[in-house]
Amino acid sequence: MDFGHTSLRHLALLATVACKPPVNLTPPPAASPAPLVALSGASVMVGVGDIASCASRLSMGTAGLADSVLLADSVAKVDNAAFTLGDNAYEAGTTAEFDKCFTATWGDPNKRIMKSLHPAPGNHEYYTPSANPYYKYFGAAAGPIGKGYYSYGVGQWHVIVVNSEIIVDRAFTDANRREQMAWVQADLAAHKALCTIAYWHHPRFSSGWHGGNRNLTAMWQLLYDNDVDLVLNGHDHDYERFRPMTPAGAADTVRGITEIVAGTGGQELRGFEAIQPNSVYRIEGRAGVLLLTLGAAEYRSAFLEVGGRVWDQSGGKCH
């Protein structure tokens, strides 16, 4: 995809809507977003976490925004995907909540996002025993029933979906955790792509209300050892990007993994607590989606806010 043509014009239209800067935006944006850098032949991923609640209409906006990105004519010509980062239907991921809340927004069968959606489960899905409605609603797209981890390809990139509930929830056994780790190891060995993304719900690092979770360190170590480039998470209802880091949280510009938290899909938005080291960009109080443009050996990322502005245009090269 070439952001210098049709899709850039689409984003430029979004950017014409004036709004005040987010409350905790670091660093402050320019008055007008700079053009996104074109990546010849690139594919697109767009998604977010913490999405649908019948008590909030914000998910209507994020669904429409994500769908419009995938419907842009220059995007439609190449491989693309939509994704979720967990907590898809509030409050407990029940069948009724998926049917009434998620289907009315991200789950609309007429939307392109639903036709190309690759979900991840969150803790709210497991408020209903075994997250059964989640697996029933998404079917094969959610991976094996009861496991929820799987992988797929987008353009020249390999994408791994992890079930972080298996790691952080005491209802799962050590055998469950070992099984998922072994699967991720085998999947990475079987897919020697230059560029790889992994995503799940709970962040290893976060300045938000929930904060980071050290239980994810072993998973990060496995991904780090296999040169994974990006990790995407939700759980905290804000947007935050970290510079490339080691599993211990040290800056590493050579092999470090860039983490982006995007829990701004439609549920109640929250602020930040203790700002963590290597946090380079934070937005609170704004609903929006994460856009990734995936080239042959590099990527671009941006936060698209419902209402129009394009924030935090960044990117990097694959390991």
What pLDDT shows up at residue 4?
Answer: 33
Quick check: 24 and 98 in contact, CB under 8 A? Answer: no
Residues of the chain predicted below pLDDT 50: 1-23, 27-35
Give me the sign of the Cα torsion angle 167, 172, 176, 178.
positive
In a domain, 25, yes or no: no
> How many structural domains comprise the chain?
1
Going by C-alpha positions, the residue among 56, 130, 122, 135 that lies closest to residue 85 is 122
Q: Which domain range does residue 65 map to?
A: 6-10+40-317
What pLDDT shows up at residue 38?
Answer: 59
In a domain, 27, yes or no: no
In a domain, 83, yes or no: yes
Indicate which CATH number applies to the domain containing 141.
Answer: 3.60.21.10
CA distances from 11 to 71, 87, 104, 293, 309 (A): 12, 27, 24, 13, 9
Q: How far apart are CA 178 and CA 167, in angstroms?
A: 9
What pLDDT shows up at residue 79?
Answer: 82
Quick check: 56 and 266 in contact, CB under 8 A? Answer: yes
Going by C-alpha positions, the residue among 74, 36, 21 that lies closest to residue 309 is 21
Q: How far apart are CA 270 and CA 254, in angstroms?
A: 33
In a domain, 273, yes or no: yes
Q: How far apart are CA 290 and CA 259, in angstroms?
A: 12
In a domain, 22, yes or no: no
With a threshold of 0.85, does the pTM exceed it? Answer: yes
- Rounded to 5 degrees, φ, ψ at 222 are -60, -45
Could you count the other beta carbons within 10 Å of the beta carbon of residue 170? Answer: 5
In a domain, 32, yes or no: no
What pLDDT shows up at residue 22?
Answer: 42
**Helical spans, DSSP H, in 142-250:** 164-168, 174-190, 217-225
In a domain, 35, yes or no: no
In a domain, 126, yes or no: yes
Can you say how many angstroms the Cα of residue 71 is from the centroid of all Cα atoms in its chain? Answer: 19
